[in-house]
Amino acid sequence: MPELEGATVRVLTGDRPDDHAAREYEDNEQTDDPEQPRHIVRYIDIESGTPFCFKIHIHRKFSWQGADAIEAAAYLDGKFARVILFGKPTFDPKKHFSFSSHLDGSWSGVGHAAKHHRWVFADLETRDKTASDDTATWKNKYGDLGKLTVKLYRCQKIGAQQETTHNYFAVGQQTDLVPEKALKGRPLDATTSFMAGTAGVGPRTQDRRRLDHHPFATFDFLYRTRRALQALLIIERSPTPVPLEERDPETLTRQELLQLERQRRAAEALKKERGSVKRERDGNDSPSPTHLKSIKGADGQKIYLLDSDDEDTDDDGLEVISAPKKEAPEVVDLLD
């Protein structure tokens, strides 16, 4: 993800997310909207069952413009998931170039009884449309499926931090089956969910006042499985593997050489088996009749055109056969 207004957001995946950032792709048919210079959209390659979080990186050149904190709000599939506030660092900016923070899941419960739930990608399950479906609500409910969003605002803190007293609850989880027609042909086969909670103390709260009426930076991540990205032609389809027998033997591994030898032996055995099976002609079989061309002679006889040197033929290769005599039809009287 490129830098935007002095900030960068990445999606990190896996049990140790700092080790792996989701691979990003630009849409070949769409570019970043010049009318929205503070908005970036990227596709990311994900796998179902993989945990994820956001890493927010603030660069040294970021302009605070009187702010002493940054608010980062996360949305999963169009639904609010969590917001964090991180203050302006007190270190000397000439010695430190940047700093980072993480959005790493949602909370449920109250205070010291709260639980932390990591976000995770999951399989998207669909169903057929039913009579009770209100299609007018589909755009609002399902229009942002497959999208992660992080919005950043400059803020000023108000008062001191306080212990959490309100009840956290997990939001953004897609629990209902999605009508197949609500996807409108979009190749979506994944959604977001929550992992089982781990006990912990909920984060403290901080009142603040936004200095930006609109986010100074918005990052959208359209998460798709590799299969869906291939269907969208964002990435190339996996090439058809070259048969072992057509590859350079020098490039084959030991296992591939053994497989090639097994294929060769199987082919030879099949060829030998087919060669040993021959059709034997029955002694009573008669040769197939030869169909000869014929013409009608002047006296009504049938003349066959032969292509041989048989003695019964004349010099022109014609064999004359007299026309058969017509027999009188037999008349039968019917008696009472």
Above 50 in pLDDT, residue 317? no
Above 90 in pLDDT, residue 196? no
Q: Are 72 and 208 in contact (CB under 8 A)?
A: no
Q: Are 193 and 173 in contact (CB under 8 A)?
A: yes
Q: What is the pTM of this model?
A: 0.67
**Best mean pLDDT range from 3-17, 278-292, 321-335:** 3-17
**Best mean pLDDT range from 12-26, 155-169, 179-193, 257-271:** 179-193
pLDDT in the model for residue 107: 86
Give the closest residue to 102 by CA, choosing from 122, 123, 86, 80.
86
Q: Are 120 and 46 in contact (CB under 8 A)?
A: no
Question: Comparing 219 with 111, which gets the higher pLDDT?
Answer: 219
Distance of CA 155 to the CA centre of its chain: 40
Instruction: Report how far apart, in Å, the C-alpha atoms of 228 and of each of 26, 47, 50, 225 are.
Output: 14, 11, 16, 5
Report which residue type is found at 187.
P
Q: Are 172 and 79 in contact (CB under 8 A)?
A: yes
Q: What is the pLDDT of residues 241-292, one digit of tens each?
A: 778 777 788 788 888 888 888 888 888 888 888 776 655 555 555 555 555 5
Percent of the chain with pLDDT over 90: 26
Helix (H) or strand (E) holding 193: strand 190-194
CA distance 90 to 197: 34
Q: Are 180 and 130 in contact (CB under 8 A)?
A: no
Helix (H) or strand (E) holding 254: helix 254-275
Q: What is the pLDDT of residues 65-102, one digit of tens each?
A: 999 999 999 999 999 989 999 888 876 655 555 788 88
Instruction: Report how far apart, in Å, the C-alpha atoms of 195 and of each of 105, 154, 243, 252 are.
Output: 9, 31, 42, 43
Percent of the chain with pLDDT over 70: 71
The residue with tokens 């570019």 is 31
- The model's confidence at residue 43, banded by pLDDT at 50, 70 and 90, is very high
pLDDT in the model for residue 248: 81
Q: What is the pLDDT of residues 200-249, one digit of tens each?
A: 877 888 889 999 999 999 999 999 999 999 988 888 776 667 787 777 88
pLDDT in the model for residue 313: 47
pLDDT in the model for residue 223: 96
Partner residues linked to 158 by β-bridges? 207
pLDDT in the model for residue 153: 96
Please state the rounded mean pLDDT for residues 30-59.
Answer: 84
The residue with tokens 């986010």 is 215
pLDDT in the model for residue 287: 56
109: three-class secondary structure by DSSP: strand
